[in-house]
Each structure stands twice: as C-alpha cells, then as structure tokens.
Chains A and B, each alone.
Chain A
C-alpha cells in the first residue's frame, strides 16, 4: 500500500514537472522568419535540450551500462547485448542525434579544464566519466552495447577479415594521435575536431554535408571487411577505455571455467582481440632480456624528446587552423589581387573595427599555447610509438586463449564458441 502511494506520488511529480516545461514554451518574442528558400548550415551540435530531458539521458546511459554489463558478465548473452546495442543505436544515435556522446565529451572536459569561462554541462561530465568507471571495473561493456557508433558498425560487419597483429598495432596508433590532436585543439579553444569529423552524425540527423555522408558511408563499407574500423583505428575515447579496461578485474572471459585449448574460439573475434596462448619453449636468457630492457629504457625517452621537439617545430602549422592565427596570417599576407572577394575572416575583421595589433597579440598568445602543446603532443606520440615498439619486442607469456583486455569490446561473440559450459 505504502509502495503504491509512493509510486503514485512519483508519477504525479513527474507529470507536473513535464507540465511545467510548457511554461518555457510561451512565445515571448516571435523569431523572424528567415527560412524561405534558405539552406540552413549543418551545425556540430543539435538544439539545446531541456534540463529534465538531459537528466533522462543520464539515467538511460547508466541504466544501459548496467544492463549491458549484466548481460555480458552474468548472462554471457550475445543476443541480449545485440538487442541492447540496437536500443542504444535508436536512442543515443537516432533519437539523441549522436549528441552528447562519450567520444565527443573528451573535448568538453578538456575545454572545461583549460578554460574557466566554459561551463561544462552535467551530461558531458557523466557521459565522459560513467563509461570509464564501468570499464575500469567490468571491461569495455560500453563499447559492447551502449555506444551507437559501435552498434551501427556491428550491423554491417558481414565479412570481417583478420588483419594480423602487426597491422592492428600500426593502425592502432592512429586513435592516440587523434586523441592528442583533439585534446590540443579543445584545450586551445580552437575546434572540436571529434565532432567535426563524426562520421555518423549525418546518418543520425539526416542532414550532413554530402562529403560527410560519403565519409560515413565509406567507413561503413570498410566496416564490412574490417569490423568496427572507427572503434579500432580512429576512436579517441577508445584509447581511454583501452587503458581503463586493462585494469578491469571483472572482465569477460571466453570460458567460464578452465580453457581446454580446443581452439574453437581462435577465429571467433572479428576485432582480432583474442590473445592466443604464447608459451616459449626456449625462454630468453637474462642477458637478452637485459639488453631489450636497456634498449627500451633508452629508446622511449629519446622518442618522447624527438616527438616533443618535432611537435614544437610544427606548432605553427598546427596552430594554422585556429581562427585567430588564421586571421593574423591573412592580414600579414593578404592574397594577391585575383579578383576574388576577400575571405569571411577579413570581411568580418574589417567591419569589426578591431585594431590589427589586438589581432596579432591574440594570435601570438595562441601560438605560445601551441608551442607548449606541440611539445606535449609530440612527446605523447613519441611515447605511443615507444610503447608500440616495446610491445613488439617484449613477449608476454600466457597459456590460455584470453580476450585482450585493452582491445576487447566485450561483445560476447567468442563465448558462444566455447564448449565449456
């Protein structure tokens, strides 16, 4: 009885809260009509969302993560994960038009850290942190059934091919570079490049430019043969999930008990994320191991420094896409008289009445940020290459077929191949 009353109360509160939304819907000033025959530009972000609906998004995210995690770890159900991924595709993809998404939230968080005037929405924080927290405990269940990017690509993975560890390792560097660039451009307030090159936003919203439609379409075509190409070789958030997942204690296992080395699961993973047993009959002697260790110890700092130095040297081209730097460049090097009209930036600058000195000062400040950012980005990329080489040199020994904790999307495909029940 008490429970019923409580539920009724919750329902009424919800109902009246929804009613109150209409208060904000009153037209206080009719907006002029500027749409007849006008082509609206595509925006990176959809229209703002009511606060309550944003909270609903958070609730759906947490609930979806919980359900998928339960399906992966407790039920070990591929079917369940598949249906959840369809739900996520419908909700976070088509209904929420891909925004906010965890991948893009990297930029919101970065900007909030570097620009105190930016007020980060609560949804951005939760969408950034919640999947990482779940991954830290349970592996990449977010990728399995909550991320709409993964869900869409999973639908077209008809004929996935094995790429081999070398190709996987080399292409696997791209997301690190993408992450580094995304953080650099968000930190300097230049651009949200993850959103700019979101390949599927046009599919979610049915309104992308032709180029981005083609881009998304070709990525899906690639996805027929290389399963989840965006997740594996582009996704910058995947880098963070990869790191978190390596520490997960409750990660999915292929077999619920002991591995019987039947090899049935060996080719079951479309993402090449199963580590096959690596046992060495002739273990390396201590001297060889020592040499390798010294080599790596010397190589990684060298690569970091070389990367940082190169990054710092490239800070001007990197900053060239910043609006302030681009404007300053155009003022300094006006285009030769080609009869073409001036660029928008120059037109806007001239009509603003802003002094040139102010533009140069602002550009100079941005360049300084990029100089430091170039060092950090280059050093980070150097570290990634160092890690890649180290990974190739050092052999990790294990006896069973196990999911690679970093790369495994917890999709549960491999589980069905295991005869051990």
Chain B
C-alpha cells in the first residue's frame, strides 16, 4: 500500500512537471513588462542635499540654441550657440550680444580677450564687439569641431568627426595632430561615437583630452606624446556611464576635474589622479535626455553648467566654503 502511494505520488509529480512545460510553452501570455529592462531610474536618483554643491543662480540666455560656454579672467561669461554669442557679467547681467552666421558649437577665449568659435568645420576669431577678425580654412568635410582651448600661441581644436585633435598657431597654421592611433607610441586613438569630444589645458601646460569611447581622460604634451590617462566605465557614481562619456569637462582649482555626462545627466568632481571626489549636480536636477552640459569655472571657483534644454547657465557653488 505504502509503495503504491509512493509510486502514484511520484508519477503525479512527474506528470505535473510535464504539464508545467506544456502550459509554460503553449499557454503563457506575452509579457507587457520587461524584467530585464535596462532601467536608468535607479541610477537617475540622488538626494541633492547630499551634493557638495548647491545651485545658487540661473542665467537665462536668449539664443535659439546654446552649445558652448567660457569665462574670462574677470569672471565674464560667454555663451555661443546658433546665430550668435552672448556675454554676461559675473552677476548674470547681459553685457553684449552679437550675431554670427551659423552655429558655434564651442567657444574659447585667449589672454587678450579674443573669442575663438568652432563653427562646425572651421574656426572663426571675433572680438567682443562682434567683429569677425579671421576665418580659418575648413578642417575637412567630415569635421565636427566640438572643443577649443588656447594657450600662448597654440590653439587646440577637438574634431569629433575625424577623431583627432589639431594644434594650430594663432594664424590657423596646422602645427601637428594629436591622438591618432599609433601602437608604436602607445596612443590608443580616440573613440568618439557621438559629437561630444572635449579638451582642456591644465595649469602645468599639458593637454587633457576626453576619450569618450574609452571613458577616460588622456594627458598629452603639446607635441602629442601620451603622458598618462585615467578613467573608469561604470553606471555607478564614481565612473563614466553609457557608451561614451564624459561629454564635457573643465579644470577646477588647478588640479581637479569637473565632468558632465549625458544619458545619466550628472556633474561630478574628480581628483587629479582620477579618484572620485564629490557630486556637483544629480540627474534629477536636469531634464531627462539633456545632452551637452558644457562646463566652465569662473574666478570665484563657481561651476557654470550650460543647460541647452532649459537654455540656462546654471551656477553651482560649494556649500561649505
């Protein structure tokens, strides 16, 4: 009797398992929710109270589109975009505005106050009164100029289209190209899947370039020799997220890096050795999908963030100075 019960129970269990297979395969309904969806909701959270910086000011721009941001030594703020350039004083009051033909994707100032604009495929030089002083030759049909930095007689231009950095003299003469893949010298080559490719010059006179596809910063001397690099790919706060980030950066207090990312819109500060330091702004402080959060630091060590969706210059200051 006991044996019969065991056999019947075991057979019932076996048949139940077969029934499970049949039901699961033939009668399960298509799902409406994806349990494996790569949701960014979790990483888009963050308590602004825990950020080291607080937003203290917003400056509204009047340009149709805004793309580039720069500051001069006296703290004036320059914004470039579609059809013009706007200048504000450190308090955010408009000082000047002039029209340009086309869209300036990036902007930089030299020591004399001249304005360098990256006009998609070429560079234009203007003064702050709105007079065009020079227009350089096109960098090529595939050029997408995304960042400029000026130091002394050198003008460095990042070309996302051709994945290279140009070093020009101030008359537009090409001195050398930097960052082209060269296994002999260990230069890995830039991976730039989207038109966000930033560069800057540190106080010690070296060029820092973002290699967004590798989620890293690369340090070159002006002759193009790779000196060092750092960076970490991670959705977590201490790394750079997605396919290609950071999108923009600015050098801060001589040796720190302020970085911004797209996809998970966040602004952070890293130490010179690449270790994560603190958060300036969390994703919750930006519209979802905001791209091109250009950055600048002014003489008061305020961090300026260009918000192209809200058409604002957003100013962040350290909470506990």
Contacts and interface: CB of A to CB of B under 8 A. Distances in A.
Nearest to A38: B38
Contacts of B18: 174, 234
B136 to A, nearest CB: 33
A215 interface: yes
Given A32-B215, A218-B13, A225-B9, 16 more contacts: A30-B213, A30-B214, A32-B241, A36-B234, A37-B42, A37-B43, A39-B36, A161-B6, A161-B10, A163-B7, A222-B10, A225-B6, A225-B10, A226-B10, A229-B14, A344-B31
B153 to A, nearest CB: 36
Given A30-B214, A196-B25, A330 B234 contact: no
A189 to B, nearest CB: 16
23 contacts: A30-B233, A31-B233, A32-B241, A34-B38, A36-B234, A38-B235, A159-B6, A161-B3, A161-B7, A161-B10, A171-B14, A193-B25, A197-B25, A222-B10, A222-B13, A222-B17, A225-B10, A226-B11, A233-B14, A321-B25, A326-B30, A343-B30, A344-B30
A240 B231 CA distance: 55
Interface string B1-33: 001001101110110111011001110001111
A37 B235 CA distance: 9
A33 B235 contact: yes
B282 to A, nearest CB: 16
A362 interface: no
Interface of A: 29-41, 159, 161, 163, 167, 171, 174, 193, 196-197, 199, 211, 215, 218-219, 221-222, 224-226, 229, 233-234, 317, 320-321, 326, 330, 340-345
Contacts of B24: 197, 211
Interface of B: 3, 6-7, 9-11, 13-14, 16-18, 20-21, 24-26, 30-36, 38, 42-43, 191, 213-215, 233-236, 239, 241-243
- In the A-B complex, list the 7 residue pairs whose CB atoms are closest, starting with the nearest: A36-B235, A225-B10, A33-B233, A41-B36, A343-B30, A36-B236, A340-B32
Nearest to B16: A218
B235 A35 contact: yes
Contacts of A222: 10, 13-14, 17
Contacts of B242: 32
B276 to A, nearest CB: 14
Contacts of A159: 6
Contacts of A37: 42-43, 235
Contacts of A218: 13, 16-17
Query: Interface SS of chain A: helix, strand, loop or mixed?
Result: loop
A39 B38 CA distance: 8
B18 to A, nearest CB: 6
B6 A221 contact: no
Pick the most buried of A31, A161, A342: most chain B CB atoms within 10 A of its CB.
A161
Contacts of A171: 11, 14
Contacts of A193: 25
Contacts of B213: 29-30
A270 to B, nearest CB: 13
Contacts of B34: 344
Contacts of B38: 34, 38
Given A193-B25, A229-B14, A320-B26, A32 B243 contact: yes
A221 B13 contact: yes
A34 B244 CA distance: 12
Contact of A33 (B7, B11, B33, B234): B234
Contacts of A38: 38, 235
Contacts of A30: 213-215, 233
Contacts of A31: 233
Contacts of A29: 191, 213
B30 to A, nearest CB: 4
B43 A36 contact: yes
Nearest to B35: A39
A172 to B, nearest CB: 12
A321 B29 CA distance: 10
B283 to A, nearest CB: 14
Contact of B14 (A226, A340, A342): A226
A342 B32 contact: yes
B215 A341 contact: no
Contacts of A161: 3, 6-7, 10
A50 to B, nearest CB: 24
A9 B212 CA distance: 47
B243 A33 contact: no
Pick the most buried of B11, B17, B36: most chain A CB atoms within 10 A of its CB.
B17
A321 B25 CA distance: 7
A282 B318 CA distance: 104
Contacts of B9: 225
B17 A317 contact: no
A3 B43 CA distance: 63
B32 A341 contact: yes
Nearest to A327: B30
A321 B6 CA distance: 36
A215 B19 CA distance: 11
A34 B10 contact: no
A104 to B, nearest CB: 15
A57 B100 CA distance: 68
A171 B36 CA distance: 37
A197 B21 contact: yes
A30 B33 CA distance: 30
A39 B35 CA distance: 8
A348 to B, nearest CB: 11
Contacts of A199: 17
Contacts of B13: 218, 221-222
A171 B11 CA distance: 9
Given A39-B36, A225-B10, A32 B21 contact: no
Nearest to B18: A174
A326 B38 CA distance: 24
B287 to A, nearest CB: 22
Nearest to A223: B10
Contacts of B241: 32-33
A237 B311 CA distance: 66
Nearest to A342: B32
A32 B14 CA distance: 44
Contacts of B10: 161, 222, 224-226, 229
